[in-house]
Amino acid sequence: MSARYPQDCPEGFISHYFVVAGDTMSIIAQYFGTTKEELIAANPHIADPEALYPGDVLCVPGFRKPTDCPENFQGRYEVKINDTMYNIAKMFNISEEELIAANPHIPNTEFIFPFDVLCVPIAQVNVNESNNGGVVSLKMDQNLELTLEENASTGYSWEYKSTPDTNVLKEMGTWAESPDFTIPGAPGRRHWIYQGINPGQTTIDLWYIQAWLAKPVPAGTYKLTVQVK
């Protein structure tokens, strides 16, 4: 059977693909990060999509764009040559997992192509001991992660001296990170995740105390002013 070639391809197609032995519509679709249904729809010259032959030429649909983006996103990004999800995430100071989760219209994130459009989530702001006494700004729906050293073996822990305004800043969760047990007396870390929910200003006000004492004497304090814009 002579190879079949499309007369033209849909607007926004990535490229032509030459079928090789063993190819199926599903395999080719997975390779190019599209769906079998989209690939079939872009190639009406293949009367029976279950029967492909070496030398057949397919139009590979592309230029994928999201119908909408999550609320907490900072913008859209048009993929360039040699881009990867990892490199784009690093460019915007977010994790690769966050970028993938924000773009369900890319079914196979191992394959992204020039002119694909991605939703870029807002980058998380990270603060620690060095920000004590400072001010940090957040956008609405942007996350803030606070990390402080905490040594449970001493009986001390970080507790709120006064809680932040929950109309401005919402605590999303907190957890303890275990210390390095290979180093005697090594401290662990305490993490908090907050999210800016409404414009305003509030303060994260913590002290490092033995919480069971009636009149605890703090071994340290931490204060951070948070402005949500």
What residue segments make up the domains of the chain, in order of their start? 13-61, 73-121, 125-228
> Between 162 and 69, whose confidence is greater?
162
| Common-topology check for domains 73-121 and 125-228 | no
Assess contact for 57 and 15: CB atoms under 8 A.
no
Backbone angles phi, psi at 191, to 5 degrees: -120, 145
Between the CA of residue 165 and those of 69, 161, 173, 208, 226, what are the distances in Å? 28, 13, 16, 20, 10
Q: What is the pLDDT of residues 67-112, one digit of tens each?
A: 888 777 888 998 888 899 999 999 988 889 989 999 988 877 887 8
Name the pLDDT band for 180 (thresholds 50, 70, 90): low
The answer on pLDDT for 198 being more than 80 is yes
Count of beta carbons in the 10 Å neighbourhood of residue 115:
14
Fold category of 13-61 in CATH? Membrane-bound Lytic Murein Transglycosylase D; Chain A (3.10.350)
Q: Does the structural domain 73-121 have CATH classification 2.120.10.10?
A: no
Assigned CATH class of 125-228? mainly beta
Reported as a pLDDT band with limits 50, 70 and 90, residue 189 is very high
Global pTM?
0.61
